[in-house]
Copies of this chain bind each other. A is one copy, B any other.
Amino acid sequence: MTEAQPLYARVKDHILTQIRSGSWAPGARVPSENELVESFGISRMTANRALRELHAEGYVARVPGVGTFVKEPPARGSLMELRNIAEEIEARGHRHSSRIVARAEVTATPALTEDFEMKTPQRLFHIVIVHEENGVPVQIEDRYVNPFAAPRFMAQDFSATTPTAYLVAAVPVDELEHTVEAVMPEPAQQELLGISANEPCLALRRRSWSRGHVVTLATLTYPASRYALYSRYKTSARGTIAQ
Contacts and interface: CB of A to CB of B under 8 A. Distances in A.
Interface of A: 19-22, 53, 56, 58, 73-76, 78-80, 82, 168-169, 172-184, 198-202, 222, 224, 227-241, 243
A64 to B, nearest CB: 10
Contacts of A174: 234-235, 237-238, 241
The count of identical subunits is 2
A175 B167 CA distance: 31
A227 B19 CA distance: 37
B240 A75 contact: no
Contacts of A58: 234
Given A200-B184, A233-B74, A238 B22 contact: yes
Contacts of A78: 233, 235-236
A153 B85 CA distance: 40
A230 B80 CA distance: 11
B79 A180 contact: yes
Contacts of A180: 79, 180, 202, 228-230
Nearest to A119: B64
B238 A181 contact: no
Contact of A20 (B184, B227, B230, B238): B238
Contacts of A172: 239, 241
A230 B179 contact: yes
Given A79-B80, A180-B180, A198-B198, A175 B224 contact: no
- Most interface-central of A181, A183, A227 (chain B CB within 10 A): A181
A237 B173 CA distance: 9
